[in-house]
């Protein structure tokens, strides 16, 4: 038996009105939000935006769309070029999955991005969030979209919690559905606007560390603020991830060297990485992991981006 949705401490309807009105006034003019952006452009943006700031994504998105404006173009592109254009967005496997998705779109959908969340979930690397986001933002399908920013706004405004914690829980999922506008109203337009408005509020105002409550359009309804803005509990706190000396840092440095320097002797490339505190064992391990992930290739003693070794 499915558990009942937790009752929000704040009624959602006034929040819907206030927040969507604010969004129409305050929304950032991002290229993938424009009405003339293709569904492919929306899918590319969602792949790039995962755990990456908008400021870093915008120039990469423009370059990607200039080179590969359709799934067909991306499917036919050399892998080395795909990874080079991806540049320092992080998690370069996302670039490979995006190109694989382009190939599936060409092979199974006639080159057109599928319109439903269920079909989108069948694309490589597309999970629940991305499928719902593309269906909503590209095709006006009233899907419940939940990312980190949206979880935080839900937690504060409706549940009275300082932070949502690291994990998207079943209670949070039920809360997201319970405060979602009725999709039957105005053909789902309010529901779709609600998704992007909550996301924008979390990105610009209701931030994790320094929320601007005085500038918040729904401050008068916020359960967390009305409770006196209590600090997060231990379960809600999110510990900052370290970066220096991690495999992620080493893998990123190797990818940067391959993108900018081209094919190189493996021993020379690893020895010249600007990571004085990282030993050669870790450098070599990270190189092997990149090769295993299909992000680099080795022939004899030479390493390069995939397809770059003659």
DSSP character at residue 110: T
Phi-psi map region of 246: left, alpha, beta (phi>0 left; psi -120 to 50 alpha): beta
Distance, in Å, from the CA atom of 124 to the CA atom of 101, rounded to the nearest integer, reads: 5
Residue 67 lies in a domain: yes
- What is the domain range of residue 284? 247-299
- pTM as predicted: 0.91
Q: Does some domain include residue 86?
A: yes
Which one-letter DSSP state was computed for residue 239? Answer: P
99 and 77 in contact (C-beta within 8 Å)? yes
Residue 304 belongs to some domain of the structure: no
Choose the final residue of a domain: 139, 161, 188: 139
In a domain, 43, yes or no: yes
Q: How many residues does the chain have?
A: 310
**What is the helix, strand, coil percentage profile of the chain, to 5?**
55, 5, 40
The number of distinct structural domains making up the chain is: 3
State how far the Cα of 24 lies from the Cα of 5, in Å rounded to an integer.
29
Position 310 in a domain: no
Tell me, yes or no, whether 305 lies in a domain.
Answer: no
Same-domain check for residues 58 and 197: no
Residue 169 DSSP class: -
> DSSP 3-state assignment of 274?
coil
User: What pLDDT is attached to residue 241?
Assistant: 63
pLDDT of residue 7: 74
**122 and 139 Cβ atoms separated by less than 8 Å:** no
CA dist., res. 216 & res. 206, Å (int) = 7
- Contact, 141 vs 117, CB < 8 A? yes
Q: Do 35 and 84 share a domain, yes or no?
A: yes
72 lies in the same domain as 118: yes
Per-residue pLDDT, 6: 59
Residue 263 lies in a domain: yes
Residue 308: predicted pLDDT: 92
With respect to residue 113, please indicate whether it lies within any of the assigned structural domains: yes
Question: 46, 143, 200, 297: which one is catalytic?
Answer: 46
| Residue 42 and residue 100 in one domain | yes
Asked if residue 160 and residue 105 are part of one domain, the reply reads no
CATH of the domain at 44: 1.10.340.30
* CA angle 176–206–38, rounded 5-degree value: 65
47 shares its domain with 135 = yes
Positive or negative, the CA dihedral 205, 210, 213, 214 is negative
d(CA 96, CA 84) in angstroms, rounded, equals 11
List the CATH number of the domain containing 190.
1.10.1670.10
User: What tens-digit pLDDT sequence spans the chain (310 residues)?
Assistant: 444 555 788 899 999 999 999 999 999 999 999 999 999 999 999 999 998 999 999 999 999 999 999 999 999 999 999 999 999 998 999 999 999 999 999 999 999 999 999 999 999 999 999 999 999 999 999 999 999 999 999 999 999 999 999 999 999 999 999 999 999 888 899 999 999 999 999 999 999 999 999 999 999 999 999 999 999 887 777 665 678 899 999 999 999 999 999 999 999 999 999 999 999 999 999 999 999 999 999 999 999 999 999 7
Do residues 21 and 101 both lie within one domain?
Answer: no
Boundary (domain end) residue, out of 114, 139, 164: 139
Active site residue 46: yes
Residue 304's DSSP bridge partners are 297
149 and 57 in a single domain? The answer is no
Strands 264-265 and 297-299: unpaired
Q: Of 139, 161, 195, which residue sits at a domain end?
A: 139
Q: Are residues 44 and 131 in the same domain?
A: yes
């Amino acid at each position: 038996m499915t558990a009942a949705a937790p009752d929000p401490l704040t009624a959602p309807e006034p929040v819907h009105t206030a927040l969507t009105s604010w969004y129409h006034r305050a929304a950032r003019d991002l290229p993938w939000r424009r009405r003339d952006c293709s569904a492919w452009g929306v899918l590319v943006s969602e792949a790039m935006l995962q755990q990456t700031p908008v400021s870093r994504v915008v120039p990469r998105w423009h370059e990607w769309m200039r080179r590969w404006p359709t799934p067909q173009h991306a499917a036919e592109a050399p892998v080395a070029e795909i990874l080079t254009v991806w540049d320092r967005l992080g998690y370069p496997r996302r670039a490979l999955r995006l190109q694989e998705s382009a190939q599936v779109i060409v092979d199974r959908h006639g080159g057109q991005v599928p319109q439903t969340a269920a079909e989108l979930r069948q694309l490589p690397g597309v999970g629940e969030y991305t499928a719902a986001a593309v269906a909503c933002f590209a095709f006006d399908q009233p899907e419940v979209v939940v990312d980190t920013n949206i979880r935080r706004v839900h937690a504060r405004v409706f549940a009275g919690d300082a932070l949502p914690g690291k994990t998207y829980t079943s209670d949070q999922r039920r809360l997201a559905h319970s405060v979602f506008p009725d999709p039957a109203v105005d053909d789902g337009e309010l529901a779709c606007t609600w998704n992007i408005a909550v996301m924008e509020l979390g990105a610009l105002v209701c931030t994790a560390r320094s929320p601007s409550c005085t500038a918040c359009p729904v401050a008068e309804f916020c359960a967390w603020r009305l409770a006196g803005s209590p600090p997060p509990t231990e379960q809600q706190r999110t510990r900052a991830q370290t970066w220096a000396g991690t495999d992620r840092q080493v893998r990123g440095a190797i990818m940067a060297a391959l993108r900018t320097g081209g094919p190189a002797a493996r021993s020379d490339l690893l020895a010249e990485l600007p990571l004085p505190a990282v030993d050669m064992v870790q450098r070599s391990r990270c190189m092997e992991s990149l090769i295993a992930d299909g992000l680099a290739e080795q022939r004899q003693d030479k390493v390069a981006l995939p397809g770059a070794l003659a």
